[in-house]
Amino acid sequence: MKRSHSLVSGLFLITSAALAQGQAPAAGPAAASPVAITLRADQPGRVVNRNIYGHFAEHLGRGIYEGIWVGPESPIPNTRGIRNDVVAALKALNLPVLRWPGGCFADEYHWKDGIGPREKRPSMINTHWGGVVEDNSFGTHEFMDLVDQLGTDAYITGNVGSGTAREMMEWVEYLTSDAVSPMANLRRQNGREKAWRVPYFGLGNEPWGCGGNMRPEYYADEFRKYNTFVKNYDRAKPIYRIAGGANDFNYTWTEVLMDRVGRQMNAASLHYYTLPTGNWRTKGSATQFGEDQWFSTLSRTLKMDELITKHAAIMDKADPEKRIGLAIDEWGTWYDVEPGTQPGFLYQQSTMRDALVAALNFHIFHRHADRVVMTNIAQTVNVLQAMILTDKEKMVRTPTYWVFEMFKVHQGGTFLPVELQSPDYVFGGEKVPAVSASATKAADGRTVHLSLANTHPRDPLVLTVKLAGISPASAAGRLLTAPTMQAHNTFAAPDAVKPVPFEGATLAGGTLTLTLPAKSVLVVELRGTRRPIP
């Protein structure tokens, strides 16, 4: 029998003091269930590409304008028009790569409209997102300034849908050439002497949809054509080319791309969004939901593992050496917009549910580190599953932000297998694993980070972790949880959901023991091994 939504009102409360000590909730409908785990530090795998923790900022709603760009004359503290508070918050995440300008916007964006004196730049209509006027005040120079301020890498998506091969060729020259040439000289004329470094370039976005409604065969030919004109002006650092790949379960698209494009691309993209209902017309609320949509959201986000596995199997047939990467450059939750906001702006809140979604996806990406080379959550500020929300001069970090901040220790780490037999979290006759785990070895060879997630909204779990190949001297961590599934941060209460120190882990005889609270994300650092980990 399906459980009633009234279960939400019976959720136990967790005190801050208990959380700070990493204790299980004082009361709950079920005793903590035991879970046995083995962390295999003696079987290191692939390096987890730090670009797995990438971001995406599209000209959409208040993502760029108000969220990142306020202009040099704004009373909001800024550096050359870019918000100081947002930059500081994002820098704390060790942002590895930022994708821009879209998204659907990319295939109607003409880069020359966004250079030169701002007062002379032509405006356009953003037909995809709200029909608002885009004044192009945030363009190439402003984006590359943002990249420099963040200390991150640029991933630029070129216009294949409505642009020309010449337009793309000239943009790459403008960005990356130090020659005495027309586009490089134009860049100098606009105030930038030295070429920028643009490591990643996408050839179109969603060509199967808003990027041109193309058949895979047609797009493959377009990719081959446009790719010819993406020149490597710095041959020592060639541009990494990302093809417009499949939409979720469209495996035929990947088959055609691998067959007809092959190694002319460095990676193929994949897009998958988590909708609680699976219905694009009525996706579900970001904050007003019961356990049914808590469960369905987590269940649907776990489909990411199936998607990567099946697309990677197709890629393996044509590329057994795994030279071509999979770039999941749009992922995250997508809900109905917040009531009272512009429907085309895709503004939504982020709750404890979204924190679990982020943790589960990262664990999946880690397991597929042999093929997944980059992911970009949608999106960075004020759009979909954002890190940050802004309201004029105010800024708030979301629960998703804190998962990125806690998990940054995994960036560039070596994947360590984690063996576990998770109990089931059962709801409405369906089930998902109650616990998810992942581990990486840090570059120092003596530190391991173990991240854990408990998907159950009420039940804590007692974890016994056997440590194979590691003898740590200490274990400490940080815990993210909340009293309710719907808990989120607001401008009035910006720290309602925030990590707290976790000191509830004990080490004895090569075993780590801890209690993982319900609906929680935990990162434990195991330090001071007596010998380097293999």
**Residue 382 pLDDT exceeds 80:** yes
Percent over 90 (pLDDT), the chain: 90
Task: Note the pTM of the prediction, 2 decimals.
Answer: 0.93
The identity of residue 357, as a single letter, is V
Residue type, 443: A
Q: In whole angstroms, give the CA distance from residue 217 to residue 79.
A: 45
Between 419 and 532, residue with greater pLDDT = 419
Q: What is the mean pLDDT of the chain?
A: 93
Give the model's confidence band at 528: pLDDT under 50 very low, under 70 low, under 90 confident, else very high. confident
Give the pLDDT confidence score for residue 262 in this predicted structure: 86
- Tell me how many degrees the CA angle 438-153-206 measures, rounded to the nearest 5: 80
**pLDDT-based confidence at 21, cuts 50/70/90?**
very low
pLDDT at 2 over 50: no
Domains of the chain (ranges plus CATH)?
5-46+415-527 (2.60.40.1180), 50-412 (3.20.20.80)
Instruction: State the amino acid at position 225 in one-letter form.
Output: K
> How confident is the model at residue 531, as a pLDDT?
58
Average pLDDT over residues 158-165: 98
Give the pLDDT of residue 365: 98
Closest CA to 499 of 348, 398, 413, 410: 398
Smallest CA-to-CA distance from 101 within 46, 149, 140, 134 is with 140
Q: What mean pLDDT do residues 363-379 have?
A: 97
DSSP β-bridge partners for residue 272: 331
d(CA 265, CA 442) in angstroms, rounded, equals: 30
Preceding amide of 379 cis, omega within 30: yes
Per-residue pLDDT averaged across 356-383, rounded?
98
Please name the residue that has the structure tokens 């942002």. Answer: 95
How far is it, in rounded angstroms, from Cα 373 to Cα 245? 14
Q: What is the pLDDT of residue 509?
A: 87
Indicate the range of 68-72, 136-140, 309-313, 505-509 predicted with least confidence: 505-509
At 421 the pLDDT is 86
pLDDT at 20 over 80: no
Q: Mean pLDDT throughout 301-310?
A: 98
pLDDT confidence of residue 529: 63
Number of H helices and E strands in the chain, helices first, is: 11, 27
pLDDT (average), residues 157-165: 98
pLDDT, position 119 = 96
pLDDT band at 7 (very low <50, low <70, confident <90, very high): very low
Is residue 18 scored above 80 in pLDDT? no
For residue 300, the model assigns a pLDDT of: 98
Report the catalytic residues: 206, 330
DSSP secondary structure letter of residue 280:
S
Q: What is the pLDDT of residue 171?
A: 98
Q: For position 8, what pLDDT does the model report? A: 27
Q: Is the pLDDT of residue 220 over 80?
A: yes
CA dihedral 68, 74, 79, 81 (to 10 degrees): 50
